[in-house]
Structure 1
């Protein structure tokens, strides 16, 4: 049903755009478009049926003054296309190493990610090692925003988040 899909995508881009604009008007510092189902699509389908809608949203958010983030779950095979959708930042999940992700698209946008959320269920030593691995892969390139490679799991101990953020700060302090 190509016509029904187009109608749905048109409605979704309008609603998403209005919602994100309202977030900016309410004082958000950044706006993130989650493309939850993009990973299920092959590159041709994404480019032909979805990408224009993401571009529409990001184009219309330019006037908000907020940086925009595009995050698609399970979509390492789409990284090049996602980076062309018009966001300021590309969120990358944990399924693709951050250095490989960065090497696969132009440096026109920053990159956010991509610690595996399950790492935060491990020991302090495991968390610190995994954070350092991500940071070393970034290799102090400008434009990196450290983040999980997807949402925090409900069973994650809050202290594990503190450990991860401390590891990021400690790593960054050695760069100064």
Structure 2
């Protein structure tokens, strides 16, 4: 039986009025938490995600510590790729490294399909534990978007410029679109399994798609994203889009059948609204500010909240993820400030 939850985040994601601005943080689970660091001394990321009880604990920890309005499942965007036959390893200090990168249409055609109940049962079990036994806030499931996954699969690991990915996209369009089809089908199947298990919202991370210009996005990416979001609409949960350094694509995302446009810190919320974004917005404090004195954090957060609260449908978040140097007490204090300041403003 599912637990009764605080639905403030879900209502904001649907553009509804709320009594206060809900808040959660990307990469809120782990990284800066001492309890998580102790776990990481014993287990790798993949080992944690393969143990549902432990993974549920890590996912819930920031909700308990910071009083956030949503939890996001602790896992990596690479989690579903081994099911397709991708040999991926998360290397400390580097990130995902793939030993069999995509080089041709033949490589794409060798990729398999995902059966979530067989291939990632631990992910679904973690969701069930959280939503049926533990959380009093919504759980956000997520997936990596096809471009970002493809960038790792083609480059063989992290990249600063995505030259191989773009070259493959331009030079091998048939192979590129075949890869997009494979990854979009995987994403749809994987996400639907998450919502069936109990996830109450979904965020798609296209972390590195900002490397493309608008024209290339429209040709090579947008049809795939439209297919994904159109299919996920059937799940009747809020759908969020986010990428880094992708302000020039914000209106392209707004065109897609999704609910929330996630913004990094480069595009002010006010300017996003002026460009024509009428859907719910999520963001967008620069995470680097979390290392500044509290007076600066409060000043910057207040300015963002004032812009966000000009319209209903606003979720406070960072413009990217929490990083390890951030003091957990800072996030606890920031959450309390967002709740109190927004409640005082919205009650007038």
TM-score bracket, shorter-length normalisation: over 0.9
Q: Tell me the TM-score normalised to structure 1 length.
A: 0.94
Measured against aligned partners, the alpha-carbon deviations of 1:110-141 in whole angstroms (never above 9, x if no partner) come to 11111111111222212111110101122431
Q: Please list every run of 5 or more consecutive structure 1 residues that lacks an aligned counterpart in the other structure.
A: none
In 2, the alpha carbon distance for the partners of 1:21 and 1:103 equals 34
Match of 1:114 in 2: 284
**Given that residues 233 and 257 in structure 2 are in contact (C-alpha distance below 8 angstroms), is that contact kept between their aligned partners in structure 1?**
no
In 2, the alpha carbon distance for the partners of 1:60 and 1:167 equals 37
In 2, the alpha carbon distance for the partners of 1:113 and 1:61 equals 22
Match of 1:53 in 2: 224
Q: Which has the higher contact order (CA 8 A, sep 6+)?
A: 2
Aligned-pair distance for 1:29?
A: 1.5
In 2, the alpha carbon distance for the partners of 1:102 and 1:140 equals 10
Measured against aligned partners, the alpha-carbon deviations of 1:79-111 in whole angstroms (never above 9, x if no partner) come to 11111121111101111111111221341x211
Q: Which moved more, 1:83-92 or 1:133-142?
A: 133-142
Which runs of structure 2 are paired with 1:53-92 in the superposition (5 Å)?
A: 53-92=224-263
In 2, the alpha carbon distance for the partners of 1:156 and 1:172 equals 23
Match of 1:170 in 2: 340
Aligned-pair distance for 1:63?
A: 1.4
Match of 1:3 in 2: 174
Larger radius of gyration: 2
Answering whether residue 327 of structure 2 is matched by residue 157 of structure 1, we say yes
Answering whether residue 317 of structure 2 is matched by residue 147 of structure 1, we say yes
Runs of 4+ in 1 over 2 A off after TM superposition: none
Aligned-pair distance for 1:62?
A: 1.1
Q: Tell me the TM-score normalised to structure 2 length.
A: 0.49
In 2, the alpha carbon distance for the partners of 1:36 and 1:8 equals 18
Which of 301, 306, 314 is 1:136 aligned to?
Answer: 306
In 2, the alpha carbon distance for the partners of 1:105 and 1:8 equals 32
Aligned-pair distance for 1:5?
A: 0.9
In 1, the alpha carbon distance for the partners of 2:175 and 2:276 equals 32
Q: How many residues align?
A: 175
Aligned-pair distance for 1:43?
A: 0.3
Match of 1:28 in 2: 199
In 2, the alpha carbon distance for the partners of 1:19 and 1:121 equals 36
**Given that residues 112 and 146 in structure 1 are in contact (C-alpha distance below 8 angstroms), is that contact kept between their aligned partners in structure 2?**
yes
Q: Which moved more, 1:150-159 or 1:40-49?
A: 150-159
Q: Please list every run of 5 or more consecutive structure 2 residues that lacks an aligned counterpart in the other structure.
A: 1-171
In 1, the alpha carbon distance for the partners of 2:336 and 2:173 equals 49
